[in-house]
Structure 1
Amino acid sequence: IHLQLVETLHSQNIIHPTTVQMQTILKILKGCNILCAAETGSGKTLAYLLPIIHRLQEEPFTDSERNIRAVVIVPSRELAEQVTSVARSEMGVRHMRLQGEMPATVREGTFRNFQKGNVDVLICRE
């Protein structure tokens, strides 16, 4: 994992990977597909977000490449909010969460950011 990402995790008192993270992160970084089922609080969100963020940091975009670079699709609004919260937490990820029941003014601002290319990761629910 990128050194800056490790330092960010340490600043949040995340020192050691969970079992789920140890079993998945390297496989994801190698390009493998994974299916992971584990209980709440086991570290699944970071297990897939850390490889995404690592890749974003290892392969920075140029100004002409300001496109969405990863899409995270989750089954519920609550999980979309959780993923957004983790991505936002000092990880340096420019993200956008889409959900159907957003007020029109919020949707307009969200799509403006999308059009400007201010989004690395699109987080949405199925």
Structure 2
Amino acid sequence: MLSNELEEQNIKETIEKDERYCSFCGKIITKHDEICEYCGARQMMYPAKKWSTCLLLFIFLWEVGAHRFYAGKPITAVLFILTIGGAGIWWIIDLIMILTKNFTDYQGRKIKS
């Protein structure tokens, strides 16, 4: 029975955009599942980020990538700082993404509320 479980896991090595791993049993579930259908464990659901907060952080603290830290993207925030907003190009892209409410957090959820 253990070999069947291993085969099942090896068949599907990559997960789809709307899926994630259960934080308790490791099985693949949809991102929006509150309870894992395999082990019954309640999943950690984080509140959505506020669009107005993200916009204000971008306007006043864009030099330090505060909007990216807020979205839970520390690696790209540091890169944003080191490249000075990608020499302005990344800055413009982030501004457009935030204004059109297409900027996403680390889980891929749009920051639009």
TM-score (norm 2): 0.30
In terms of fraction of residues, the more strand-rich structure is 1
Larger Rg: 2
